[in-house]
Amino acid sequence: MKELIVLLLAFILLHDHLAAIPLSSSELSNKQRQGVVVNLIHRDFSPLSPFYNSSMTRSEILVKDAFRSVSRAKSFNSAILNYNNRLNRSTPDATTIFPMRGIWLMHLYVGTPLVESFTNADTGSDITWIQCMPCEECFPQLAPYFDPKKSSTNLIATCDSAVCGYYFPKRCSEANECTYRVVYGDGSATSGTVMTDTISFYKDGSLTYSNFVMGCGHNNGGIFLPEEVGITGLGGGKSSLISQLASNFEKELLLHLSLEAVKVNDNVLNTKDSTASNIIIDSGTTYTHLERSFYYKVEWAVVVAISEQAYPVPAVEPFNLCFKESKIIGFPDIRFQFAGGAELLLTKDHTFIRAAYNTVCLSIIPTDGISIFGSIQHMNFNVEYDLDAKTVSFAKADCSKE
């Protein structure tokens, strides 16, 4: 029997505890599974984050997240084009993957003895890497650079090793070391050697995984802050953390969901003949983005549902639909209906945010590119990525108590 290893992501928002989303089907089953729960930390809301600023208001943080979300969503399309173009080339090149640091951070402990790494958690990319000694050209970080020579379990991969060319495009140094280079769509980049080492999600090392393949970055630059040391890739590719903990490595690059309809109260809007039916789940994109023509159908249904209470007011960028909060007594229920009968009920805490004083906005944004199911819409869930079964499951959770 295949070993099944899943990763449960407990999405955390401290300060404003959003209501849990009930799911009518495809919830996490009660059968025993082997897995690990990793708490993700919101970079702006959570006091656990090194970027936490207590002087920022909730509205300021949410609008800031929205602009970050729009930038990331736009970048997906150029990154997809770059990836497709790379597939047509026969020679190894730098891997171009999705840009813009997301809103979630996580602790990753590397080596023996364990060294703490505060990384960006990103389901939109696959490769995990941290800055390493010798650091030839690195961005400044507060913590010491990871020194692989001080880890008794570290091994730099050689060009003839099994991992070279399997997880990364095969590149070799003059010293016969397996090397990598990743260029993100926003211009950030990392390059260095491929290494294997022990990792853990807990400071006490109570749960560790050996021979984890990751990047040891010697040349890194771009949009990074001193508190960060690298990126943890949680995508569906074979180099991602999730895939390496799973038993089956034949995965897709991105985590896709099949969206069949969006239901606003009793108004069912089918995605048939719309590219919105193919939607990516991405923790780094804060808000859900829907293909523009389908978004306008959803927006109009929301306007109709609220029309007896209030009319739209000038929108707060980057949102598209806003109302005076004091005029609204009840908000419509919005349900995302997925293939297989799964239905995700989104209440007002997931679909409307206070973007300014007495102004609430629909927290779904139109896009000219691929649709993305953002992290606000699956807040207070344990999200299970089962790559063997090729399923994504949601289970209600109160992350403020975990």
- pLDDT of 13: 29
Residue 70 is predicted with a pLDDT of 67
Active-site residue among 44, 65, 122, 197?
Answer: 122
38 band by pLDDT with thresholds 50, 70 and 90: low
Comparing 267 with 280, which gets the higher pLDDT? Answer: 267
Residues spanned by the domain of 259 = 23-30+255-396
Average the pLDDT over 59-82 and give the result. Answer: 63
- 155 bridge partner residues: 196
Nearest to 42 by CA among 29, 26, 56: 56
Domain boundary among 245, 280, 295: 245
The reply to whether 161 falls in a domain is: yes
In a domain, 192, yes or no: yes
Q: Are residues 225 and 340 in the same domain?
A: no
Say whether both 214 and 346 belong to one domain. no
Are 218 and 97 in a shared domain? yes
Among 139-143, 250-254, 372-376, the least confident range? 250-254
Residue 70 falls within a domain, yes or no? no
Q: Which residues face 200 on adjacent strands?
A: 109, 208
Last residue of a domain, one of 245, 269, 284: 245
DSSP state of 325: G
Is residue 142 a part of any domain in this protein? yes
Say yes or no to pLDDT of 92 above 90. Answer: no
The answer to whether the beta carbons of residues 394 and 255 sit under 8 Å apart is no
Considering the entire predicted model, what is its pTM? 0.54
In a domain, 96, yes or no: yes
- Same domain membership, residue 302 and residue 219: no
Percent of the chain with pLDDT over 70: 69
Contacts of 90 (CB under 8 A, 6+ apart): none
- Asked if residue 381 and residue 339 are part of one domain, the reply reads yes
Same domain, 159 and 271: no
Beta strands in 222-342 (DSSP E): 230-233, 256-264, 267-270, 278-281, 288-291, 322-324, 334-338
**Residue 199 sits in the same domain as residue 279:** no
Q: Which residue in 44, 126, 197, 282 is the catalytic one?
A: 282
Q: What is the pLDDT of residues 317-354, one digit of tens each?
A: 989 999 999 999 899 999 999 887 878 888 888 899 89
Let me know whether 311 and 331 are in one domain. yes
- Let me know if 65 is a catalytic residue: no
DSSP annotation string for 46-75: -TTSTT--TTS-HHHHHHHHHHHHHHHHHH
Q: What is the DSSP string of 8-38?
A: EEEE--SSS-PPPPPBSSSPPPSS--EEEEE
Give a yes or no: residue 51 inside a domain: no
Q: Name the average pLDDT for the chain.
A: 76
Same domain, 98 and 203: yes
In a domain, 300, yes or no: yes
Tell me the backbone φ, ψ of residue 196, rounded to 5 degrees: -120, 145
Q: How many CB atoms lie within 10 A of CB 364?
A: 27
Q: Is the pLDDT of residue 78 over 80?
A: no
Does residue 204 carry a catalytic annotation?
Answer: no
Both 378 and 294 in one domain: the answer is yes
1 vs 253, more confident: 253
CATH number at residue 141: 2.40.70.10
Element (H, E) at 207: none
Query: How many domains does the chain fold into?
Result: 2
For residues 27-39, give the mean pLDDT.
47
